[in-house]
Amino acid sequence: MSDSMKLSLGDKQLDYAVLKGSVGPEVVDIRKFYAQTDSFTYDPGFTSTASCQSTITYIDGDEGVLLHRGYPIGELAEKSNFMEVAYLLLNGELPEAEAFDDFRYTITRHTMVHEQLASFFSGFRRDAHPMAIMCGVVGALSAFYHDSTDIHDPQQRTIASHRLIAKMPTIAAMAYKYSVGQPFLYPDNSLSYTGNFLRMTFGVPAEPYEVNPVIEQALDRIFILHADHEQNASTSTVRLAGSSGANPFACMAAGIACLWGPAHGGANEAALNMLHEIGRPERIPEFIARAKDKNDPFRLMGFGHRVYKNYDPRATVMQKTVREVFKAMNVSDPVFDVALQLEEMALNDDYFREKKLFPNVDFYSGVILSAMGFPTSMFTALFALARTVGWVAQWNEMITDPDQKIGRPRQLYTGPTKREYVPLGSR
C-alpha cells in the first residue's frame, strides 16, 4: 500500500496519497484538498509546492546535483554539445548519429527569420535593452508562423519548437547589431549553431569572419549550462502562459520577460556590474559587510539560490571555463581576481555559511562573456537564447500531460470586505 499523509482540520480527518518520483523528495497529492475542506493551502513563491510532474531535469540542491534526463550537467558540459543537449531535453534520449544529423539539419534550416521581422527592430530606440527587444520580437513571431500554432497537433508543436530554437540566435544577434548600428547578418548554415551566432553577432558584411574555436566551444558550453533548470520562475511562467492554450511564440516572450529580472536571469549582468563596482580586492570586506547588513538592500549578486544550498554545479564548470579561455587567449582580467577572492571570503564567512549561500551560475558567467566581447546588456539575452530549449521542452511536456489544467492559483484575501460605494461629492 502506498504511503499517505493524515491531516485533521476541524472535525475532518483527511488522508492524502504521497507520490514518489524516481528520485527526490516525496510529494503529497493535495489536489482534492479544497473540494474536501473548503480551504486553500498558502505557499507564496511555491517554496513547498510541486506544480507539475516532469521527466526532464532533476536538481538536488543540498548535494549540488543537476541532471538532464539523468545525465549530470558536468558530464554534458565536458563531453556533449549544445545541439545534442537540446535534442536530449526535447526527446528524452541522446540521439543516434542519423537522428542527430537530421536534427542539426532541421535546426540549421530554420535559422532565418521572416524578412518582415527585421522592420520591427527599427521601431525600437537604439539604446533599448536587448531583453526589451527580445520580448517584443519573439512575441511578434506569433504573428508570422501561423502554420505551427495548433498546439494540439504534435507536428506543429515540433515545428514551432524547432523554429524557436533556431531563430533565437538570429534574433539575439539582430538585437545586438541594432544597438551598435551595424547591419544585420544573415545566418551562415555552414557553421555550427554557436559559431553561426558568433558570426551574426561579431561579423560584418564587409569582411569574412573567422570563428575562434576556443570561444565557440566555451560559449557552446555556457549554452549547455543554461539550457534548463526545472521549474524556475521563467519556465513556470512559460508553463502558466501555455496552460491557457496560448500561442507558443507568445509563451516564450512571457518567459523572456520573467527571465529579465535581476533575481533570475538578470543576475549575471548585476553580478558583473557589482564586481566592477568593487574594483579591487581591498574593497571586498566593505561589500560583504553591506550584504550582511539587514538595513541595506544590497545582496551579493551571483550568490545564493532558491534550490541550491550547496555549490551550484554550473558555477564549478563556469569557473573552470573562465580559466581555460583566459589561458587559451592569453588574457587576464582583474575582475576575475576580485571574483575569486570575493568567493573565498564569502565562503569563509559565518553569515554565508549559515545561510548556505554559494556562488551560482551567474557569478562567473559575466566575467567570461565580457572577455568574449559581449556587452553586459547582452548577457541575459544569451541566457534566454539557451533557456529557450528548456522552455520549449517543458512547454511540450505540459501540453501532453493528461493532468494538465489551466494554471490558476488561489489567494488568502486580506482586503476590505463588502462595502457601499460613496459618490465622489460625498467622500
Of 105 and 351, the one with the shorter C-beta distance to ligand CMC is 351
**Can residue 229 be called a binding residue for ligand CMC (CB under 6 A)?**
yes
Contact status: 359 vs ligand CMC (CB under 6 A): no
Q: Does 362 bind ligand CMC (CB under 6 A)?
A: yes
Cβ-in-10-Å burial (0-12, 13-18, 19+) of 383 comes to buried
Instruction: Give least dist CB 416 to ligand CMC, A.
Output: 30
In the bound state with ligand CMC, the residue whose beta carbon lies nearer, of 95 and 130, is 130
Which has the closest alpha carbon to 126: 167, 174, 196, 187? 174
| CA pair distance 213, 92, nearest whole angstrom | 29
288 binds ligand CMC (CB under 6 A): no
Catalytic site residue 60? no
Residue placing its CB nearer to ligand CMC in the complex, 197 or 303: 303
The set of cell numbers assigned to 240 is 502558466
Decide if residue 366 touches ligand CMC (CB under 6 A).
no
In the complex with ligand CMC, which residue's Cβ is closer, 349 or 401? Answer: 349
Is the Cβ of residue 197 or residue 379 nearer to ligand CMC in the bound state?
A: 379
What is the Cα–Cα distance from 228 to 92, expressed in whole angstroms?
Answer: 13
Work out how close the CB of 302 gets to ligand CMC at its nearest, in angstroms, rounded to a whole number: 5
- Of 306 and 320, which CB lies nearer to ligand CMC in the complex structure? 306
Question: What's CA 286's distance to the chain center, in Å?
Answer: 31
Q: Is residue 369 near ligand CMC by the rule CB under 6 A? A: no
Whether the CB-CB separation of 148 and 163 falls below 8 Å is answered with yes
Q: Looking at 57, 170, 194, 232, which residue binds ligand CMC (CB under 6 A)?
A: 232
Q: Single out the segment in contact with ligand CMC by CB under 6 A; choices: 28-36, 142-150, 216-224, 354-362.
A: 354-362
To ligand CMC, the closest distance from the beta carbon of 299 in angstroms equals: 4
Q: Is the Cβ of residue 80 or residue 360 nearer to ligand CMC in the bound state?
A: 360
Minimum CB separation from ligand CMC for residue 362, in Å? Answer: 5
Q: Work out whether 361 is an interface residue with ligand CMC (CB under 6 A).
A: yes
Q: Could you tell me the smallest distance in angstroms from the CB atom of residue 257 to ligand CMC?
A: 14
Binding region for ligand CMC (CB under 6 A) out of 15-23, 134-142, 186-194, 257-265: 257-265
Closer of 90 and 301 to ligand CMC (Cβ): 301
What distance in Å separates the CA atoms of residue 8 and residue 399, rounded to the nearest whole number? 35
Q: Which of 263, 296, 327, 334 binds ligand CMC (CB under 6 A)?
A: 263
Instruction: Please give the size of the binding site for ligand CMC, defined by CB under 6 A.
Output: 20
Footprint of ligand CMC on 293-332 (CB under 6 A): 299-306
The 179-218 site mask, x for binding ligand CMC (CB under 6 A), equals: ----------------------------------------
Cell numbers linked to 72: 549530470
User: How many CA atoms lie within 13 Å of 93's alpha carbon, on the beta-carbon side?
Assistant: 5
* CB-closest chain residue to ligand CMC: 304
Identify the residue whose cell numbers are 570563428.
211
| Locus of grid cell 554559494 | 358
350 assigned to active site: no
> Annotated catalytic residue: which of 305, 349, 350, 403?
305
Using alpha carbons only, what angle is made at residue 168 by residues 167 and 173, rounded to the nearest 5 degrees? 100
384 binds ligand CMC (CB under 6 A): no
Active site residues: 305, 362
Residues that bind ligand CMC (CB under 6 A): 229, 232, 263-265, 267, 291, 299-306, 355, 357, 360-362
